Amino acid sequence: MAIMLTAGLAWRGGDFEVAVVDRAGGEAVAPTVFSGAHTGELIDLLRECATRAGGALDCVVESTNGVLDGHLLAAGLRVYRADPWSLPARAAHGSVPARALTAADPAALTRLGPGTGSLVGREAEYAVNVASSAGAEGELIGQGRYFERGGGERREVALTFDDGPHPVYTPLILDILRRYGATATFFCVGLYAAAHPDLVARIVDAGHSLGNHTWSHPYLPDLSRDEVLRQVAATGEALARASGAAPGLVRPPYGARTPDVLRWLVEPGLTAVLWDVDANDWAGPGVDAIVAKVTGAVTAGSIVLMHDAGGERSQTVAALPRILEVLRERGFTFVPVDPGYLS
């Protein structure tokens, strides 16, 4: 008979904490801490627990930990999201503790899937928040602090990659971009930028630009002003240590926003950059679908959203050369998101 296990997965600073308990709440694995550079070892531990439990392992994350769920799902693990109204208070720069996540009410958990995204079950709330942000967007557009696409005067397109850097997929994408003479922008999460500063430096040395994608890829509407500012500041500091300068661009995870969130994001002097073309590669729709989605939607001035981390990204890697070839044949050049492109 399978032994049901529950793993709580928390983050604090640059580390992940794992707690695994059995059905009675007894400790099945001593609480273990992994740095962001050792996500693979964390997943190996969870796979071992799942094997021991005959597959009966439930992994629980919360809404400020969006850097991890895609990797867990790609490893074939069962993943659930706990929302803040069912949890105790978070740490100042961290999530709810791992042990508290194992004790979350099962009735309050939402199961995640590879094709459903991290915000499944909260789509209506997301849509209301985005719609309510139109006024703030207009205000920031007038200040030159919010963009969803470039000016479009030249036949240029900006490819952007979110959620990295990743030790496997980021180098592969950099190699492809170099082969085609294309430059891009990488919106990095701070936890992984701090874990892989060599990859951040490689991105910049190759002539690409950086953007701030927050520290732990949280659903920002769940955070306070102080938490949002800390997410952005910590990421800027990690990117500055690795590259020599903090980027001036910021992108909210999932594009999630409220009027307050948008104003908090730009408060440190940053410019918020979203996109007008979503490759939908995070959902793993297939290489052909990714190519068709991008090449069918790009116009002069487009900003394209793709991903070099956050899950299994081999489809993105396979699609990228075809995207570059098709768009280059149509006369597009590939440029980073910078003030000249956005003006």
pLDDT tens, position by position, for the chain (343 residues)?
A: 567 999 999 999 999 999 999 998 999 998 999 999 999 999 999 999 999 889 899 999 999 999 999 999 999 999 999 999 999 999 989 999 999 999 999 999 999 998 888 999 999 999 999 999 999 999 999 999 999 999 999 999 999 999 999 999 999 999 999 999 999 999 999 999 999 999 999 999 999 999 999 999 999 999 999 999 999 999 999 999 999 999 999 999 999 999 999 999 999 999 999 999 999 999 999 999 999 999 999 999 999 999 999 999 999 999 999 999 999 999 999 999 988 888 7
- pLDDT at position 246 is 96
Predicted confidence at residue 256, as pLDDT, reads 98
Picking from 88, 112, 136, the residue at the C-terminal end of a domain is 112
**Whether residue 217 lies in the annotated active site:** no
Whether residue 301 lies inside any domain: the answer is yes
198, 206 Cβ separation under 8 angstroms: no
Q: How many Cα atoms occupy the beta-carbon half-sphere of 250 within 13 Å? A: 31
CA distance 339 to 45: 44
State the residue range of the domain holding 138.
123-337
Q: Give yes or no: residues 130 and 106 share one domain.
A: no
From the candidates 162, 163, 222, 281, which is the catalytic residue? 162
Q: What is the CB neighbour count within 10 angstroms for residue 342?
A: 18
Last residue of a domain, one of 57, 88, 112: 112
Q: 229 with 317, same domain? A: yes
Residue 118 lies in a domain: no
pLDDT (0 to 100) of residue 1: 52
Looking at the structure of the chain, the number of domains it has is 2
State residue 2's pLDDT score: 67
Distances (CA, A) of 308 to 172, 200, 270, 314: 9, 12, 23, 9
What totals of helices (H) and strands (E) does the chain contain, helices first?
13, 15
Active site residue 278: no
Note whether 102 and 129 are same-domain residues.
no
The pTM of the full predicted model, rounded to 2 decimals, is 0.97
3-state secondary structure of 40: helix
Residues linked to residue 161 through DSSP beta bridges, in sequence order: 186, 306
Query: Collapsing DSSP states into helix, strand and coil, what is residue 104?
Result: coil
Torsion of CA 210, 216, 222, 225, to 10 degrees: -60
Beta bridge partners of 112: 79
In single-letter form, the type of residue at position 340 comes to G
Q: Which of 112, 138, 168 is the last residue of a domain?
A: 112
- The pLDDT score that the predictor gives to residue 247 is 97
Please tell me whether residues 138 and 209 are part of one structural domain: yes
Examine the domain organization and report whether 264 and 298 are in the same domain.
yes
**β-bridge mates for residue 11, sequence order:** 16
Q: Say whether both 283 and 207 belong to one domain.
A: yes
Catalytic residue chosen out of the listed positions 93, 196, 307, 308: 307
Tell me how far apart the alpha carbons of residues 310 and 168 are, in angstroms, rounded to a whole number: 12
d(C-alpha 31, C-alpha 99), whole Å: 8
Q: How far is CA 278 from CA 158, 195, 274, 292, in A?
A: 12, 27, 10, 11
Instruction: Tell whether 195 and 108 lie within a shared domain.
Output: no
Indicate whether 91 and 132 sit together in one domain: no
